[in-house]
Amino acid sequence: MPTKFQQETLKSRFAQAKVLVVGDVMLDRYWLGDVSRISPEAPVPVAKIEKTEHRAGGAANVARNVAALGGQAVLLSVIGDDEAGDCLNALMAEHGVETVLIRDQNIATTVKLRVVARNQQLIRLDFEDAPTHEVLNGVKNRFRELLAECDVVILSDYGKGGLTHVVSFIEWARQAGKPVLIDPKGDDYAKYTGATMLTPNRAELRQVTGSWKNEADLQEKARALRRNLDLQALLLTRSEEGMTLFRDGEPHHQPTQAREVFDVSGAGDTVIAGMGLAMAAGLDFPEAMQLANAAAGVVVGKLGTAVCSFDELAQSL
């Protein structure tokens, strides 16, 4: 664990670091209750809802993680002109995130509604629309304005259309000398060419490179992907196996730090938020990875899309 002096230094460096988070935001709604019977209408459980919770999801959860760790987070995204959008805006203000949430009159804010009983998810209902072309052009313009005042850019791609202009974002960030970290989605990584780092999980990487037979095969596939996309680094998150950093030289591996895994949802958001903030504070790749891994270990011990505070991080380190 870092000494008190090192903790204070890290804390003050985090406080001065500014991260711009761009991508798909969503509102995670939780309906929590109990199940004691099966419906007479169909063979399904009847959930008696006792309370509801709202949490920020997607890119909004990344920004929330940056702020929880003590960094300055600016969130740029598109929401609908609706109650869910108002709720998300209010949540971000509560978490100390500066928001530039552009309202699109023609869409509904993305909502993931989970019905949970006795810590078991019964069903998830998704409500989503792709943003309109005109509003996305507005995002492009705001990105250029916000870029100058941030240290690192995180692009959080959930495949909902918010990162339609990802190629331009990477190009402008490179021109401005700002590192770009991307949480990727889908099977086309060509659009991420020129990014500083990608942070796929095993399933996401497999979708793009195909399966690997062993560790040597994985290293070769990671090298080829880095070369093809002109990436400085690739951080593979491997669930219970921890994470591996691929860059020039030998891969750098860190085992998982979770004491007891309760819920992995949102852990990828914590990893990229931790990496981005640490890099914005001047840490190198392996140091940033150690920090991100520790933060993720804290988060998977909590239910739902959770965050890690600076104090929890210091304790974990």
Residues known to be catalytic: 269
Rg (CA), the chain: 20
Contact 28, 15 (CB under 8 A): no
CA angle 270, 274, 277 (to 5 degrees): 135
Q: Which of 155, 158, 220 is nearest to 194 (CA)?
A: 155
Contact 47, 39 (CB under 8 A): no
**Spatial distance between the Cα atoms of 15 and 103, rounded to a whole number of angstroms:** 29
CA angle 271, 129, 276 (to 5 degrees): 20
Q: What DSSP string describes 255-315?
A: ----SS----TTHHHHHHHHHHHHHHTT--HHHHHHHHHHHHHHHTTSSSS----HHHHHH
